[in-house]
């Protein structure tokens, strides 16, 4: 079974440009999450999709960030326009339906996209 | 509110020595607790998790963690460190299984 995949693995852009990150969750996982780690700090929650619906976007920093999950499969996270403070590692994770039981709360993480804004 | 504190951003141990990585959490409801490991140039891999079953949880690669409610702790241990254990370790807490709250991570160095 394929794990969570993310593309690109690295991205270097200039301030003011646009970048789109993609995440493909594990097949059959309804829940998809985005997290971000700014260098040296903790990994922080950005948002949570259940299928194609945004369940919780309380962690999104500002309106320069737009996440979509059309069709409930893969997701994209667009940053437009990018600022220096957006640099960091963006992780995507997916999980099964948590209502299936307490044991199914595990989130499986992708390798991350390392974004550097110059 | 939920939060995680990982004491020690860097820990060094000798090969064969005990590994102890500390994690204290804050949660107003019974939590789910996790340890993840990130090897160089790789993503986060689940080591183990606590979901209200046994308080002593065994994970992969010989790691285990004990949930202590009275101490609000979930420390990660391994009896004997291997060179391959060198990585960054993250503790996480969640009350719902959705939004995870992570600590700042502990980088483990294993000295030959």
How confident is the model over B28-86, as pLDDT tens digits? 777 889 999 999 878 899 999 998 778 899 999 999 999 998 999 999 999 999 999 99
Q: Chain A: nearest CA to B52, how far in angstroms?
A: 8
* pLDDT score recorded for residue A101: 56
Tokens of A67: 């996440």
Query: Chain B: residue nearest A101 by CA?
Result: B51
Cross-chain residue pair B104–A98, CB shorter than 8 Å: no
pLDDT at B98: 85
Q: Contacts for B61-64 with beta carbons within 8 Å, 24 or more apart?
A: B61/B85, B63/B19, B63/B35
- Cis bond leading into A81, ω under 30°? yes
What is the pLDDT, as a whole number, of residue A104? 62
Nearest Cβ partner for A109 among B43, B104, B105: B43
pLDDT digits (tens, 9 = 90+) for A45-93: 999 999 999 999 999 999 999 999 988 899 999 999 999 999 999 999 9
The confidence score (pLDDT) of residue A102 equals: 54
pLDDT of residue B78: 97
Average pLDDT score over residue span A98-112: 74
Distances, alpha carbon A23 to alpha carbons A63, A105, B13, in Å: 20, 19, 36
Evaluate whether B20 touches B75 at the Cβ level (below 8 Å): yes
Cα distance between residue A105 and residue A99, in whole Å: 9
> Which of A56, A58, A105 lies closest to B97 in CB terms?
A105
CB contact under 8 A, B94 and A105: yes
Token digits for A8? Answer: 């690109």
Q: Please state, in angstroms and rounded to a whole number, the distance separating the CA atoms of residues A90 and A77.
A: 9
């Amino acid at each position: 079974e394929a794990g969570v995949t993310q593309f690109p693995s690295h991205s270097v852009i200039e301030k003011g440009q646009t970048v789109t990150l993609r995440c493909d969750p594990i097949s059959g996982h309804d829940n998809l999450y985005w997290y971000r780690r700014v260098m040296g700090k903790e990994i922080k929650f950005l948002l949570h999709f259940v299928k194609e619906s945004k369940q919780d976007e309380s962690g999104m920093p500002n309106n320069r960030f737009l996440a979509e999950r059309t069709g409930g499969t893969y997701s994209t996270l667009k940053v437009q326009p990018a600022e220096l403070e957006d640099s960091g590692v963006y992780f995507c994770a997916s999980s099964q339906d948590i209502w299936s039981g307490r044991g199914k709360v595990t989130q499986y993480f992708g390798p991350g996209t390392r974004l550097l804004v110059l | 509110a939920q939060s995680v504190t990982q004491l020690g951003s860097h820990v060094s141990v000798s090969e064969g020595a005990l590994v102890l990585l500390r994690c204290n959490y804050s949660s107003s409801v019974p939590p789910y607790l996790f340890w993840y490991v990130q090897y160089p140039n790789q993503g986060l891999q689940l080591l183990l998790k606590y979901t209200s079953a046994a308080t002593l949880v065994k994970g992969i690669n010989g790691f285990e963690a004990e949930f202590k409610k009275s101490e609000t702790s979930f420390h990660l241990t391994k009896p004997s460190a291997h060179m391959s254990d060198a990585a960054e370790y993250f503790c996480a807490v969640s009350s719902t299984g959705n939004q995870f709250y992570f600590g700042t991570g502990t980088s483990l160095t294993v000295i030959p």
